[in-house]
């Protein structure tokens, strides 16, 4: 496996999804990551990874023969156009619609789209709107 940079101080170090059909998942996630500008970091016969997301088949050493259950993963987008591009690319690459691009009631400016990956994981791409940062309080206002 290739080496990668370590990022200390994050809440999540990495995630692993164990999938039924690795080539189908590879097509889906390649399209999603292309819209987000995230390259595939490495791959082998039983896995691939990008940033801190590791996706493997059940016969990979790390999976111990077990599929993971249904998960919700949300990726950040740089703008609303990226959210729309994600949704289109996900559906064209084997995903199923789980929520078209649009405003959501979670907070003002929350713009997201959802697609189910080939294993039924709920994949979201969200743009939180333009943020302003206060240097004195490190408070984020949307």
Phi, psi of 137 (to 5 degrees): -120, -5
Q: Which CATH architecture has domain 15-57+71-141?
A: Roll (3.10)
Q: What is the pLDDT of residue 105?
A: 94
Phi, psi of 115 (to 5 degrees): -145, 145
Q: What is the pLDDT of residue 138?
A: 40
Q: Are 111 and 126 in contact (CB under 8 A)?
A: yes
Q: Are 72 and 124 in contact (CB under 8 A)?
A: yes
Write down how long the chain is. Answer: 142
Q: What is the pLDDT of residue 131?
A: 64
Q: What is the pLDDT of residue 1?
A: 41
Where along the chain do its domains lie? 15-57+71-141
Per-residue tokens: 30: 């390649």
Question: pLDDT 10s per residue in the chain (142 long)?
Answer: 444 565 566 678 889 999 999 999 999 999 999 999 999 999 999 999 999 999 999 999 888 888 998 999 999 999 999 999 999 999 999 999 999 999 999 999 999 999 999 999 999 999 998 864 444 434 444 4
- CB proximity list for 9: less than 8 A, separation 6 or greater: none
What is the reported pTM? 0.84
């Amino acid at each position: 496996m290739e080496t990668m940079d370590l990022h200390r101080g994050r809440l999540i170090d990495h995630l692993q999804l164990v999938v039924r059909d690795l080539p189908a998942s590879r097509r889906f996630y390649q399209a999603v990551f292309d819209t987000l500008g995230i390259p595939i970091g490495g791959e082998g016969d039983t896995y691939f990874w990008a940033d801190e997301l590791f996706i493997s088949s059940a016969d990979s050493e790390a999976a111990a023969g077990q599929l993971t259950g249904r998960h919700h993963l949300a990726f950040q987008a740089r703008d609303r156009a990226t959210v729309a591009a994600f949704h289109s690319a996900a559906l064209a690459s084997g995903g199923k619609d789980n929520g078209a691009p649009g405003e959501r009631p979670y907070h003002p400016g929350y713009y997201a789209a959802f697609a189910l990956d080939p294993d039924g994981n709920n994949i979201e791409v969200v743009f939180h709107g333009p943020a302003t940062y206060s240097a004195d309080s490190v408070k984020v206002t949307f």
